[in-house]
């Protein structure tokens, strides 16, 4: 059984920082690509960042230069460090992994950025 649990969201002022965490059970992050997505009210879920099993990283243009995705193999965690946050970053953030021929999602963590 694969389970993903996100944490680290909260309320922050514009310009602030947050580090989101994603913990997994049932899989090893080191063997899989792991992505972060977000969904703002009224919007579709959108891709934010990905880290591959080989450690390559890619970011959506909207967060590039302000965010860093990383992985801790020892603790089986993936992180998303977000800096210089903007009100438009407000959303529920989800981590995602595609394994065993299906997508797995966590329950999400709310990020709210006040202006």
Over residues 45-102, the pLDDT tens digits come to 999 999 999 999 999 999 999 999 999 999 999 999 999 999 999 999 999 999 999 9
pLDDT in tens, 5-23: 999 999 999 999 999 999 9
How far from chain centre, in Å, is Cα 71?
11
Confidence of residue 33 (pLDDT cuts 50, 70, 90): very high
Q: What's the pLDDT score for residue 32? A: 94
Closest C-alpha to 24, from 76, 69, 61, 80:
76
């Amino acid at each position: 059984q694969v389970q993903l649990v996100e944490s680290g969201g909260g309320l922050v002022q514009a310009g602030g920082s947050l580090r989101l965490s994603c913990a997994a059970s049932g899989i090893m992050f080191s063997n899989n690509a792991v992505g972060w997505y977000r969904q703002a009210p009224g919007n579709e879920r959108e891709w934010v960042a990905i880290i591959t099993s080989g450690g390559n990283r890619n970011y959506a243009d909207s967060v590039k230069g302000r965010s860093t995705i990383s992985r801790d193999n020892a603790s089986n965690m993936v992180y998303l460090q977000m800096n210089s946050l903007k009100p438009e970053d407000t959303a529920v953030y989800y981590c995602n992994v595609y394994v065993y021929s299906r997508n797995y999602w966590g329950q999400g963590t709310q990020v709210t950025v006040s202006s």
